[in-house]
Structure 1
Amino acid sequence: MLFFFSTLLVIYALTWTANLLLISSIILSSQLHTPMYFFLGNLSVVDISFSTVTVPKLLSCILRGGTSISFLGCFLQMYFFVLLGTNESLLLSVMAFDRYLAVCIPLRYVSLMNDKVMLMMNFSCWMASSLNSLVHTYILSQLKYCEDRLIHHFFCDVTSLIKLSCSSTTLAELLIYAEGSIPIIIPFLLILISYVLIALTIVKIKTSSSRSKAFSSCSSHLMVISLFYGTVTFIYIRPPSNYSSQYDRLVSMAYTIITPMLNAFIYSLRNQNVKQAMKKLIVRCFSPS
């Protein structure tokens, strides 16, 4: 348990450190004041928050030896988990659209992706995420729950709360699955369409250096998309007969604890502009005044 606690604490600390360093670099470096990095900074905020929804409570349970959470606390955890998960899905699709404009329509990119559009898209992501999470919370709050409230998970998610209900959950599951699939499937389709168009554009570029530059601007985002949708698909988009609590917990740890840390490292290590901005920030912080 001590090893697990220490490992979890280190990962959580790295998540905060890497993402805060990324956010600070974007804010302080004028070179990074572009739509791409604006959305990247927002992704870092979501990743920090996403990790904070589950990890501190898990660390507290390990440290104190308790495994309880209040009913209200469980619903709040579920609400913010759905909100932030939905927001990340929408934000990744917005970032894919941004890359589409930059690669496929470069001459009109600045006018199409201006400050007003950026803010409206980011605001829309948060509003849609909040609405989606409220719908989930309302549906689950209408169910009746048994005396036995043992959750076979390390946090309160939608499937965990459904399993605790004593009443019929068929309608609730259908509503949640139908409504909950929209902010996952539609953004994924938009991402897929964006990258098909980007790939077709890159193929038409004559010089290899220009092709490499266009692809490198998208490669980090593609890796983050693969991490997020790979784990989400395993958990939520599969037949009920394939559900296994043990595997669910392992995969859930990947996208709630490890992925928020990896996202920052992927963008930090693979993006030259971010690396240079981070180096300048670190030198500025540690150099004698």
Structure 2
Amino acid sequence: MAWENQTLDSEFILLGIFDHSPTHIFLFSLVLGIFTVALMGNTTLIFLIYLDTQLHTPMYFLLSQLSLMDLMLICTTVPKVAFNYLSGRTTISVTGCATQIFFYASLLSCECFLLTVMAYDRYVAICHPLRYPSLMSLKVCGLMVASSWILGSSDGVIDAAATFSFSYCGSREIAHFFCDFPSLLSHACNDTSTFEMVLFICCIGMIVIPVVIIIVSYTRVLLAVIRVGSGEGRHKAFTTCSSHLMVVGMYYGTALFVYIRPTSNHSPTQDKMVSIFYTILTPMLNPLIYSLRNKEVTRAFMKVLGQGKSGE
């Protein structure tokens, strides 16, 4: 059945990832648990950084923005998955699909740029501590974060507009649990090779180049750490940087796997499994990694908890 003349009232069918077998019911419950932890963890981290004046520094401001992006990212996909599963519906409108693509692509891009800024922040803090107040002032930090949001949102607009500029035909079924443009492009009637090439170039700019900058930044950081005479200073630097490197490894590793490949080489099952990792698991792990391995965040949490108990 052709559907090349799709309208805003048209609907796509999301095949999803769960059926109603006992195993999948357990996995669905696990996803809801992960979503709850991610929601609470990122929200708590944002409020802790906002409430504690000692955390009003560029590093924690960047961390709060990362939590905000993770919070928005997981809310872009999981609520729709849960609604469709619980209601028995599998459809999503063209408007809903375009909205998902916009937010999903925007937030992924925003996070790519933000993680690069966070690597630069750690590089300046460790390699040029005396110049840190000027190189990473709140104004400079704010401009970098604003640029991340603007560049990411621009990418989301381009991806959503380009995806729906094509005519689609054949089955309306999307072999995914959310609207991801590689999955949609496989249904396009038109030749999408030019767009795929542009998409590949964009991914080089948003994934590969930031990865190179991050690697260079942390190479310089590691060389500086090795020269640190104090064992305590070396430990603190390694702890701070290792948290960021764990996030970067998880995030960019899966993003590279999904987007630096031609659409024709995509396997729906592989894409769904990898997408679960960076759209659901990573937003949950980020606040846990930063909070459990960060004494300042733990101190702020205990302080707020203590104030709450004393006010009872």
Give TM-score scaled by structure 2 length. Answer: 0.89
- Structure 2 CA distance, aligned partners of 1:174 and 1:154? 25
Aligned match of 2:178: 155
- Structure 2 CA distance, aligned partners of 1:75 and 1:110? 42
Aligned match of 2:49: 26
CA contact under 8 A between 1:151 and 1:160: conserved in structure 2?
Answer: yes
Aligned match of 2:244: 221
Q: Shift in Å at residue 238 of structure 1?
A: 4.0
- Structure 2 CA distance, aligned partners of 1:70 and 1:50? 19
Q: How does 1:218-257 map to 2 (within 5 A)?
A: 218-238=241-261, 243-257=266-280
Alignment identity in percent? 43
Q: Shift in Å at residue 147 of structure 1?
A: 4.5
Counterpart of 2:67 in structure 1: which amino acid? S
Q: How does 1:1-289 map to 2 (within 5 A)?
A: 1=20, 2-238=25-261, 243-289=266-312
SS of residue paired to 2:177? coil
- Structure 1 CA distance, aligned partners of 2:273 and 2:104? 17
Aligned residue pair count = 289
Q: Shift in Å at residue 22 of structure 1?
A: 0.8
CA contact under 8 A between 1:53 and 1:81: conserved in structure 2?
Answer: yes
CA contact under 8 A between 2:203 and 2:259: conserved in structure 1?
Answer: no
Which 5+ residue runs of structure 1 have no aligned equivalent? none
Counterpart of 2:289 in structure 1: which amino acid? I
Which 5+ residue runs of structure 2 have no aligned equivalent? 1-19
- Structure 1 CA distance, aligned partners of 2:53 and 2:98? 41
Q: 1:88 to 1:160 in 2, by over 3 A?
A: same
Query: Which stretch of the first structure deviates more once superposed, 36-45 or 236-245?
Result: 236-245
Counterpart of 2:203 in structure 1: which amino acid? G
Higher helix share: 1
Query: Which stretch of the first structure deviates more once superposed, 129-138 or 60-69?
Result: 129-138
Q: Shift in Å at residue 42 of structure 1?
A: 0.4
SS of residue paired to 1:164? coil
Query: Which stretch of the first structure deviates more once superposed, 200-209 or 123-132?
Result: 200-209
Q: Shift in Å at residue 179 of structure 1?
A: 2.1
Query: Which stretch of the first structure deviates more once superposed, 68-77 or 141-150?
Result: 141-150
Q: 1:65 to 1:157 in 2, by over 3 A?
A: same
